[in-house]
Structures are given as structure tokens and as C-alpha cells.
Amino acid sequence: MKYFKIISAAFLALLVVACFDEPGTDILFDDSHAYLEINEATTAGGSTIAKAYSRVNNGVGVRDSVRVNLAGAHRSTPVSVTFQIDPAGTAIAGTHYNMITTGTTVTIPPNSSYAYIYFEVLDDNIEPLTNWDLKFELTGGDLPVHPTYSILTRRIQTLCAFARTNFLGVYDTDEPGYHHYDVTFTEDPDDANTIVNDNFWDSGVSIKYVLNANCRYKSLQRKVFSAPWWEQLTGHSIFVRPKLSNRTR
């Protein structure tokens, strides 16, 4: 019992000490600390954020936005924020982008934390492998702007157009723990976004890879089965073993 009493007393002393706040650790976040910022500028990417847009060539721009934050307590009245497009940016209005937000002011509604600056990217006019900088800068408003997080450069890029021919040919496949073998990718006659692998896992089985318009893997279709064990392969685990190396021809 003495041992239990000693432990209990020590725990009680610790509990009592823990109930008192350390002096100087309370911070009151009031209007004197509030400021305006661009949300993306606060991220690990920094003040320049590259974004790739799909180049569709359909005459229709891609709608996008930049979010403006109220860093502080909500206010009962609207918060006005002014901004400008920095002329030092390389993106050209009417060629690479159009503004959707009219004027140079956005408003954060009462009891809210953010508003958006809307624009559209004219992807038809942007060649792959080129960069065009659209620079946003908060210039003022009902609250101070943060000196660092008030500037953002959106680096506009476009994704390469889909070209199935980039995937076709004969590849030397290196499967760890097995050996090298050839795999031939050919066009699927029924679908323009599908390629056919004629020797998956060196088994003689043909499968189809279905790609989306950005050349990203979309799905797999099993075409020919040569053994019962093939039916047991499910999910993405089937992609683990083979490793495609250089195309040979």
C-alpha cells in the first residue's frame, strides 16, 4: 500500500502542475494580426507554381482560379482585395489567357475566409514544352497584404498531345529474377487510344493497355488467356514484375 500511495501522490503533483499554463504561451489572434495572402504562395512550391493544362484544340479555354485568403478571424463585413496582373509576366492577355474576373477587385464575403480571382487558359495557343508566366500580385484592400505571400506566378504549360505511335515498337524487357525477353506493342485496330502487348510476362499472352488523352494509363483489358492461373491475377499487382527498358526497333 505504501508503494501505491507514493505513486498516487507523485501523479497528483504532476497533474496539479500540468493544470497551469506556462506564462507567455497564449496568443490572441485579433484584427491587428490579420492580413491578405494568395493561397498557393503559402505552399511548399513557393511563389512560382507550374501547372500543365490539357491541350485539346477545341477553341474553348480552360477555366482556372487563384484563391485569396483572409488570414485571421472572420469579419462581419465584406473584405475588399485589390490585385493586378504584373506586366513583367510573359503570358499575353488574349493569346495565352483571358481574365474572367472583371476589374481588379475581389471581395471576401462576411464570415468567410477566401475569394477567387478567375481566369481562363487559352490552351489551343500554347505549344507543349513552352512556359508562359502569369503573375498575380495583391496590391491592397481592407487589410494589409502579406509581403511574401501576396505574389504568385502561375507558370502555364500544356501536356503533350496524345500520340499512340510513341509507344509502338519492340522493347527489351528486363524482369528481375527472370531474364530479358522481347515485347512488341502494336496498335489496336478497334480503339485509337489502345495499344496491344503481345507477350505479357513472357507468357505469350496478349493484353491491351487503354490510355486516356494525356497518355496516362487508364485500364487494362485481358484479351487472350493461355493458362488457368492467369485468371487469378487481379488489380495493379500485375505491373510489378516486368520492367521495360530500351526500345530496340
Low-confidence residues of the chain: pLDDT under 70: 1-31, 160-162, 212-249
Helix (H) or strand (E) holding 65: strand 62-71
DSSP letter at 235?
Answer: G
Q: Break the chain into its structural domains and give their ranges.
A: 35-158, 164-247
Query: How many other CB atoms are there within 10 angstroms of residue 129's CB atom?
Result: 8
> Class of the 35-158 domain?
mainly beta
Q: Which three cell numbers stand for residue 243?
A: 520492367
Helix (H, G, I), strand (E, B) or coil at 27: coil
Measured between alpha carbons, how far is 147 from 1 in angstroms, rounded to an integer? 63
pLDDT of residue 22: 52
The residues that bridge with 71 in the sheet, in sequence order, are: 35
**pTM for the whole structure:** 0.58
